[in-house]
Structure 1
Amino acid sequence: MNDNAPTSYDIVPYVNRSFPQSNPNKLWVVARLFGLNAPHPGRCRVLELGCGRGGNIVPMAFNMPHGEFAGIDLSAVQVAEARKMADKLGLSNLRLEHKDLMDVDEDFGQFDYIIAHGVFSWAPGAVRAKLLSICKRNLAPDGVAYVSYNTYPGWRMRQMLREMMLYHVRDIQDPGTRVRQARALVQFLADSVPQNGGPYEILLKEELGAMNKHSDAYLYHDHLEEQNVPLYFHEFIKLAGENGLKYLGESDVHTMAPNDFRPGVQEQLRLLGTDIVRMEQYIDFLRNRRFRQTLLCHKERELQRKYDIEGIKSSYISTSVLPVSAEPEIFSGKEETFKHPVKTVNFTTRHPLFKATFAVLKESWPQAVAFDWLYREAYRRLADAPRPEDRPADRIEPGVFARELLGLYLANLLELHAQPFNLAVKAGDRPQASLLARMGAEYGNMVANQRFATVNLETEFARAALKLLDGECDRAGLTKKLAALATDGGPLSALAGDGGNDPSAIEQTIARELDAALATFASLSLLVD
């Protein structure tokens, strides 16, 4: 490797963010559900291939202090930025190296979890082969490897557009100009095709909408790089098998289940029997899937394809699902519907136990709670029913409860985790944000939260307030500090305009904004106890 040769990621650094779907806290659950006794995330060894600026591996090391973490990347610029962040956080459990993955050998160490997000499809053939070799040779016996990649058939249509963009910018070298011209081409195509509601028009407008949501760096690296090699799912699994690996599952387990198809289609898919790869390939055909986040394990490991209920019982559970009714009736047999605020999924039930379960989870959000505690607390709520006849005479067995929760998990209505998160559900008297989030706010509006996700601070006020939450000030003190920022002519000066020159009016405005911001920070998992 020529250490002085700049990469495209040195020239255009990639978006710095976390990928919660790659986190061991989630992968451990998937492994347990399929009978693999993967090491617990509380004390695990993690390697990230292509760690970039550390947006994924740094939050893991910060929030799992008893683990050992390593990240490598070919971009010296990005690794330097990651090291700078790690040093400021004082992370002694993380090593970051400017290293070509082609140079990784067995002496680099064994890891319980190996993560390769956004690498495989964008690398030459030799690098793709080496990546899978690392996933075999450097993976602990019960370890899990996470690999994301673009898939057919969904990427066929996007590939067509990529090829058009590459043709359009073929003589342009400047990255910024390439991106602007690529966007302009898609806009031109969407505006110029016959406006007849045909499939081509619909495709172009959908892709234009998707592109407009992404940053220039994303478009440059995901669409305009020299390498972008999608595969059919079965082709990827074949390559994994040639490297001594086998299919464990998907990081998002709900995508493995055909529950969103009508019953006749589900029955046809289940006729494929135990050939899970074949069944999921047909599911990809039906969904026009374009991206996968696949988990692999050693080929020698025996797996079970009937979900292990013990995996549910040993997990921590959370959900952001909310009741449709303003005041759902928990104790009666009235039907209540619970809906996810973002995902197009919902759940309707008359059963008091499950209505109580969702009530408990709502109050606990964004924290994850232990299965046993959730079971007991839901029944405790029911025991408080005002009418004796609404109090449960008998309890369903914990195993039955776990089976029902599994169904909700497979329907994408619940999240399962290996351990709870280090966060505060509500702001305390002296609100404190995690050091990781506060440092992130110093650099921009995208910060890592305590659930290993990246969140957007949508206003300058939110960013300014978050930076002040070191746990030293109460709300009155924070209000005074923010009021001072609002009157110094800086980005918060618009808030001072609401109160004229009256300091007390300005502080009242700031206090209202702060209360709202703290509630938002808590819901976004940015606060700690």
Structure 2
Amino acid sequence: MHDLRERYQRVPYEDFVSPLTDPGLSGTIARLYGIPAVSADGCRILELGCGAGLNLSAIAARHPSSHCIGMDLVPERISEGRQRAARAGLTNIELLQADLADFNWPGERFDRIIVWGLFSWVPDALKARIFEIVAACLAPGGVACICFLTYPGCKLNEGLRDLMTLQSGDGLPQERLATARAALTTLAEAGAMGARHHSSIQAWRQQAQELLGKSDALLFHDELGSDYDPCYLLQFVDWAAEHGLAHLADADTPGGAEHLLPPDMAARVAAWSDDPLARDQFADYLTHRTLRTALLVRAEDAVTAAFTPAAVRELSLGSLLQPLADAAGFHHPRGEDIAVADADVATLLRAASAGQGLRRPMGEWLAAADDAWPRVGATLFGLFARKLVSLSQTTDTAQPPKRPALHAFNRLLLAERAMLVSGHHQPMPLPAAEVAFLRRLDGSLLRDELLACAEAQRLGGERSQQLLDVLWRQGSLLTG
């Protein structure tokens, strides 16, 4: 592990927020599959390879009744994260410097375990150790979220990795990065000239352009590291099973990748196999998928796990779908129109449209008979899988706060990074004018006073109101 630690000390990894690690999302998906996952409010969370803890700190700030523990190999990153957490006044997070090979947690088990940006970039022995730690530390009803590089999409990336490492050799990090970027740039530019003659060149060119868009830290560690080890979904699932862990779903495609395919293509994939995992593996060829975010549970919990559509009744719903003139038609802001055949679901979505994304208990949007919920839930799950509605274990406050305030962690992010993290665990980079206005959200001013302040006037009254409404509807404002 000494070489790995030195590598990350020489080029610190870029800290960022990973929306798919949201403990509310993993808990919601688990509930929909019959796993009694506890709410993200008040649970115990472990993140392995947490870096400086930005992702985990955002979770801790949003769920103050939860207890979060992060582990990382590099002491400098842990020190940085501790200082940030202290400045934000976070008392529910602990960051520990530890070697994964020696990490043994003596305390209570965890309701959520997060492993992001680690699994595919360490040797096989450490991959096995990750599975061992997850199996030992995951509580009954708990969910582990592990991202990993996946084939067949990464076959193309491996070719580009070969090109970059062939050119860059074993020099200093900045020399290797410069040489790798030069190789990618040449490929992208030459590919533009040759794409009209050879269509396959376009795929290489597009992938080179995507890698050129990465920061130096991400390109160095993700693409030029000594370990770069994608695997097929089915291989990952089998390896997890050897350690007593079962694959429940993917955080990004909880209903299977086929939900995101065009209907005719999805039908062909569905006919491929009766096994959902085999269909997902096949769909990865059609989507050129390079990264998966697996949700794992204990094997004994998976024995009785099954898709339970009626479970949506116990969740909250948020929807940006807006009704069309046709009573069954709805429009999503990203430009997609859908038709809903189920009358109860159409009624529910029309009611929820007034919330403009606000997540409220399902019963507030629809009063339906007990026997209607399996049918309603099946349709809602399909919309959730297509990212057309939001389902959650937690609920947003029904009324905007009289004195809008961001929690201290988000105010710190505004000052340090000109960004904040929404209540849905989405990073939100912001222009300078909006940052200046949002810094005033400390709870000292009433809403009307905020809209009259100088920063709001410079930004524009309409945009200031929109920002306050968006932050409230995304659960980003303190409720006090």
The TM-score, its normalising length taken from structure 1, stands at: 0.81
Aligned residue number for residue 391 of structure 1:
none
Counterpart Cα distance in 1 of 2:167 and 2:126: 28
Aligned residue number for residue 149 of structure 1:
148
Amino acid across the alignment from 1:348 = A
Counterpart Cα distance in 2 of 1:244 and 1:48: 20
Amino acid across the alignment from 1:269 = A
Corresponding position: 1:225 with 2:198: no
Instruction: Name which of 345, 369, 386 aligns with 1:411.
Output: 386
Amino acid across the alignment from 2:404 = P
Alpha-carbon distance change, 300 to 527 in structure 1, aligned in 2, over 3 angstroms: closer
Q: Is the 8 A contact 1:9 1:78 kept in 2?
A: no
Alpha-carbon distance change, 76 to 418 in structure 1, aligned in 2, over 3 angstroms: same
Corresponding position: 1:204 with 2:204: yes
Q: For residues 168-224 of structure 1, give each alpha carbon's deviation from its aligned partner in whole angstroms, at most 9, with x where no partner exists.
A: 22153133x433432232121121132425333211331244234433322222112
Corresponding position: 1:469 with 2:444: no
- Unmatched 5+ residue regions in structure 2? none
The residue matched to 2:61 in structure 1 has which SS?
helix
Runs of 4+ aligned structure 1 residues displaced above 6 Å come to: none
Q: For residues 459-509 of structure 1, give each alpha carbon's deviation from its aligned partner in whole angstroms, at most 9, with x where no partner exists.
A: 1111111122102124675578646xxxxxxxxxxxxxxxxxxxxxx9577
The residue matched to 2:96 in structure 1 has which SS?
strand
Cα deviation, residue 14, structure 1: 2.7
Cα deviation, residue 67, structure 1: 2.0
Aligned residue number for residue 86 of structure 2:
87
Matches within 5 A, 1:129-148: 129-148=128-147
Corresponding position: 1:451 with 2:461: no
Q: Is the 8 A contact 1:116 1:146 kept in 2?
A: yes
Matches within 5 A, 1:464-503: 464-474=436-446, 478=450, 482=454
Corresponding position: 1:527 with 2:472: no
Cα deviation, residue 132, structure 1: 0.7
The residue matched to 1:249 in structure 2 has which SS?
strand
Q: Is the 8 A contact 2:21 2:145 kept in 1?
A: yes
Q: Is the 8 A contact 1:448 1:454 kept in 2?
A: yes
Matches within 5 A, 1:301-340: 301-303=301-303, 306-322=306-322, 328-329=324-325, 334=327, 336-340=329-333
Aligned residue number for residue 74 of structure 2:
75
Counterpart Cα distance in 1 of 2:307 and 2:135: 25
Q: For residues 331-350 of structure 1, give each alpha carbon's deviation from its aligned partner in whole angstroms, at most 9, with x where no partner exists.
A: xx555332242xx7542247
Matches within 5 A, 1:37-52: 37-52=36-51
Amino acid across the alignment from 1:70 = I
Counterpart Cα distance in 1 of 2:208 and 2:473: 31
Corresponding position: 1:183 with 2:176: no
Counterpart Cα distance in 2 of 1:425 and 1:55: 29
Please identify, of 519-528 and 159-168, the stretch whose mean Cα deviation from structure 2 is larger. Answer: 519-528
The residue matched to 1:43 in structure 2 has which SS?
coil
Please identify, of 104-113 and 447-456, the stretch whose mean Cα deviation from structure 2 is larger. Answer: 104-113
Q: Is the 8 A contact 1:429 1:475 kept in 2?
A: yes
Q: Is the 8 A contact 2:348 2:365 kept in 1?
A: yes
Aligned residue number for residue 119 of structure 1:
118
Please identify, of 149-158 and 292-301, the stretch whose mean Cα deviation from structure 2 is larger. Answer: 292-301
Cα deviation, residue 401, structure 1: 2.4
Count of aligned pairs between the two proteins: 476
Alpha-carbon distance change, 106 to 472 in structure 1, aligned in 2, over 3 angstroms: closer
Q: Is the 8 A contact 2:113 2:144 kept in 1?
A: yes
Counterpart Cα distance in 1 of 2:101 and 2:107: 12
Please identify, of 394-403 and 462-471, the stretch whose mean Cα deviation from structure 2 is larger. Answer: 394-403
Alignment RMSD (CA, Å): 3.1
Counterpart Cα distance in 1 of 2:321 and 2:92: 35
Counterpart Cα distance in 1 of 2:474 and 2:6: 35
Corresponding position: 1:402 with 2:414: no
Aligned residue number for residue 390 of structure 1:
none
Cα deviation, residue 523, structure 1: 5.8
Corresponding position: 1:272 with 2:269: no
Aligned residue number for residue 192 of structure 1:
190
- Unmatched 5+ residue regions in structure 1? 380-393, 484-505
Q: Is the 8 A contact 2:168 2:180 kept in 1?
A: yes
The residue matched to 1:300 in structure 2 has which SS?
helix
Q: Is the 8 A contact 1:35 1:303 kept in 2?
A: no
Q: Is the 8 A contact 2:309 2:375 kept in 1?
A: no
Cα deviation, residue 453, structure 1: 1.8
Counterpart Cα distance in 1 of 2:299 and 2:196: 51
Corresponding position: 1:348 with 2:345: no
The residue matched to 1:258 in structure 2 has which SS?
helix
Matches within 5 A, 1:420-439: 420-421=395-396, 426=400, 430-439=403-412
Instruction: Name which of 361, 372, 380 aligns with 2:352.
Output: 361
Alpha-carbon distance change, 137 to 171 in structure 1, aligned in 2, over 3 angstroms: closer
Cα deviation, residue 354, structure 1: 4.1
Alpha-carbon distance change, 6 to 285 in structure 1, aligned in 2, over 3 angstroms: closer
Amino acid across the alignment from 1:190 = A
Aligned residue number for residue 7 of structure 1:
6
The residue matched to 1:79 in structure 2 has which SS?
helix
Aligned residue number for residue 384 of structure 1:
none
The residue matched to 2:229 in structure 1 has which SS?
coil
Amino acid across the alignment from 2:408 = L
Counterpart Cα distance in 1 of 2:15 and 2:164: 25
Aligned residue number for residue 53 of structure 1:
52
Q: For residues 103-148 of structure 1, give each alpha carbon's deviation from its aligned partner in whole angstroms, at most 9, with x where no partner exists.
A: 1125254212111011100111111110011111111132221110
Cα deviation, residue 368, structure 1: 1.2
Q: Is the 8 A contact 2:317 2:390 kept in 1?
A: yes
Counterpart Cα distance in 1 of 2:169 and 2:477: 47
Alpha-carbon distance change, 180 to 353 in structure 1, aligned in 2, over 3 angstroms: farther
Counterpart Cα distance in 2 of 1:354 and 1:338: 15
The residue matched to 2:177 in structure 1 has which SS?
helix
Amino acid across the alignment from 2:46 = L
Alpha-carbon distance change, 228 to 351 in structure 1, aligned in 2, over 3 angstroms: same
